[in-house]
Structure 1
Amino acid sequence: EGIYVLQIDPVLEGHFWFSSKDIPMLEGRTYFGSCSD
C-alpha cells in the first residue's frame, strides 16, 4: 500500500491520466489516492 499525489499543471491543457489506473484528473486539481493494488 502507498499514497500517490498527482499535481496537475494548467500547461498540460488541464488533463492528465494516471497511467497505472486510468483515472481522469480534474483541471487544476491535485488528486490524492491510495495505492492498494
Structure 2
Amino acid sequence: MKEGKILKAEGDLHNASINRSPAAYLKNPVEEQAR
C-alpha cells in the first residue's frame, strides 16, 4: 500500500437532482426521507 490523502467537504448542494430512483427513495425509513 502507498500513503495517500483523504479530503472531505461538507455543505449544501443547491439545484441538484436526486441520484436515486423515486421507488428506491420511498423504501427509506420516514425519518431519512424527512431530511
TM-score in terms of structure 1 length: 0.22
TM-score in terms of structure 2 length: 0.22
Bigger Rg, structure 1 or 2: 2
Q: Which has the higher contact order (CA 8 A, sep 6+)?
A: 1
Higher helix share: 2
Higher strand share: 1
